[in-house]
Amino acid sequence: MLNNQVPVTVLTGFLGSGKTTLLNRILTENHGKRIAVIENEFGEIGVDNDLVIGAEEEIFEMNNGCICCTVRGDLIRILGNLMKRRDKFDYIMVETTGLADPGPVAQTFFMDTEMQEKLQLDSVTTLVDAKHIWQHIDDSDEAREQIAFADVILLNKIDLVTEEELEQLEARIRSMNAAAKIYRTKDAVVEMDKILNVGGFDLDRAMEVDPQFMEPEYPFEWAGVYDLSAGTHELVLQEGPDPAMKVALVPVNASTDEALEDAVEPVVMVFSDDEYELSAGGTLQPSGQLIALNLTADELRFDVQIERPGAYALFTEHHPDEFQAQLFGSGTLVKPAVEREFKPDHEHDDEVTSVGITTPGDLDPDRLNDWISDLLRTKGIDIFRMKGILSIKGQPNRFVFQGVHMLFDGRPDRPWGGEPRYNSLIFIGRNLDRAELTEGFEACLA
């Protein structure tokens, strides 16, 4: 290391690309580094920690949210606690969920001064499933962002596709990210010096990918300050992309950029409160309360009641242009004296969900095999990822398995010993039927 900063690799890649396989390889290779691992899982139960080998490493697990949004505070907290034990490791790996946007994760290491002093983002390393990425690269923002932000790309599972398909995929990836180093791998086998201490994260390039990279994300996209007289004004909208929009109206000191800036952080807190739904025809007041405008009526008009003349800032979840939103006073259009756009919270593909099943007991291997085979044959296209730990009747060892779409791989793991035997598995995909999956799995119990 050139200084006392701890290098950090953010490991990303779409569901089933091979992140955990690479992580296990890193933890077992003889590279002489002591590595702390931070795991993040998408879904209601965590199994990745059980899939990662190497008990001597520091492994921290974050569930119930994606590291790039809801549990990002947990990442900062864990990093802070890790640094108190700085003498126990000399490298940090952060494995994100398969649905994470790596941008906000990388941003974590630049937004906090203390983080910058102690940690150095070495690279964003992205794994790409050479066989299945085509099913997601056009309809998943996350898959494209993972590729776009990568400093190092492992084109993994090359044994499952032809050379021609590889060339086609590599050309597509090059068109999205010409700067990344690309390595073709099978089972994520790569020389360690290709992914550790590569000094690869390029902030300038990150800014090219996302010009607002260094800006914090906000729960609103726009704010405008209006000079309003006392009385009733009217907010008029047209039908837009969503049936509702959250807004907050607050008084500010003046119609200036500075006054708007002073209001931003308090309004962030307002947007974290419970919302009050307001139907068309209702009255909006500068109460500092989060209001959800119901935009399902034919005529979308809301009264805005102002008791005292002055400057008022309207914060909107979406850009007003999306709904052709306009404010009128006495029938005259009122334009904002000051306005600003904000970098909004990114959104995940809401159709992608997870179903987790955890149950004690042993499984009948024949029934399990029939069920899994039928499941993958009939629903494999919608099951992006499945993985877990199983207790097979008559087998002394845990059975670990992973699946990607219709491909499935499983193998015996360490002995159960005196540990209570249980089954824990998770499915991630689209159109998942929780009741059907749970019923099918429980029918496999011995």
Residues 289-300 pLDDT 10s: 899 999 988 889
**353 or 382, higher pLDDT:** 382
The string over 366-386, giving b where at least 16 C-beta atoms fall within 10 Å of a residue's C-beta and e elsewhere, is eebeebbeebbeebbeebbbb
Find where tokens 């964003």 sit.
124
Torsion angles phi and psi, residue 84, rounded to 5: -70, -15
The string over 13-35, giving b where at least 16 C-beta atoms fall within 10 Å of a residue's C-beta and e elsewhere, is bbbbbbbbbbbebbbeeeeebeb
**180 or 281, higher pLDDT:** 281
From residue 303, alpha-carbon distances to 246, 252, 282, 322, 393 in Å are 16, 20, 6, 20, 67
How confident is residue 408, by pLDDT bands cut at 50, 70 and 90? Answer: confident
Residue 45 scores a pLDDT above 50 = no
Q: What pTM value is reported for the model? A: 0.59
DSSP E strands, 53-116: 58-62, 91-95
Are the beta carbons of 43 and 356 closer than 8 angstroms? yes
Least confident range from 99-108, 209-218, 243-252, 388-397: namely 209-218
CA-wise closest residue to 126 among 107, 104, 92, 98: 98
* 225 Cβ contact partners less than 8 Å away, ≥ 6 residues apart: 252, 255, 256, 259, 260, 311, 312, 313, 336, 337, 338, 339
In the prediction, which pLDDT does 344 show? Answer: 64
CA-wise closest residue to 26 among 169, 170, 191: 191
Helix (H) or strand (E) holding 148: helix 141-148
Average pLDDT, stretch 313-340? 91
Residue 377 scores a pLDDT above 90 = no
Bridge partners of 184, per DSSP, are 155
Residue 175 scores a pLDDT above 50 = yes
From CA 417, how far away is CA 406, in angstroms rounded? 32
Residue 334 scores a pLDDT above 90 = yes
Average pLDDT, stretch 219-238? 92
Are the beta carbons of 425 and 356 closer than 8 angstroms? yes
From CA 51, how far away is CA 53, in angstroms rounded? 6
Find where tokens 């919302």 sit.
275
**105 or 281, higher pLDDT:** 281
Helix axes of 163-176 and 141-148: crossing angle, nearest 10 degrees: 80
Helix (H) or strand (E) holding 267: helix 257-271
Percent of the chain with pLDDT over 70: 87
In the prediction, which pLDDT does 2 show? Answer: 45
β 291-294/276-278 pair status? parallel
Radius of gyration of the chain (CA): 25
Q: How many residues does the chain have?
A: 446
β 332-334/397-404 pair status? unpaired
CA 56 to chain centre: 28
Residue 332 burial (CB count, 10 A): 8
Edge-to-edge order in the sheet of strand 422-430 = 352-360, 422-430, 383-390, 397-404, 407-415
Find where tokens 């306009």 sit.
326
Least confident range from 47-51, 86-90, 227-231, 433-437: namely 47-51
**66 or 342, higher pLDDT:** 342
How confident is residue 211, by pLDDT bands cut at 50, 70 and 90? Answer: confident
pLDDT digits (tens, 9 = 90+) for 78-104: 787 788 877 778 888 888 877 777 777
Q: What is the dihedral of CA 215, 218, 221, 225, to 10 degrees?
A: -90
In the prediction, which pLDDT does 300 show? Answer: 92
**408 or 247, higher pLDDT:** 247
* 362 Cβ contact partners less than 8 Å away, ≥ 6 residues apart: 391, 392, 393, 394, 421, 445, 446
From CA 353, how far away is CA 117, in angstroms rounded? 37
CA atoms within 13 A on the CB side of 191: 5
Contacts within 8 Å (CB) and 24+ apart, 50-56? 50/389, 50/400, 50/424, 51/20, 51/24, 51/387, 51/389, 51/400, 51/402, 52/20, 52/23, 52/24, 52/27, 53/24, 53/27, 53/28, 54/24, 54/27, 54/28
How confident is residue 328, by pLDDT bands cut at 50, 70 and 90? Answer: very high
β 222-228/310-316 pair status? antiparallel
Most confidently modeled range among 55-59, 185-189, 350-354 = 185-189
Burial label, 321 (beta-carbon count in 10 A; 0-12, 13-18, 19+): exposed
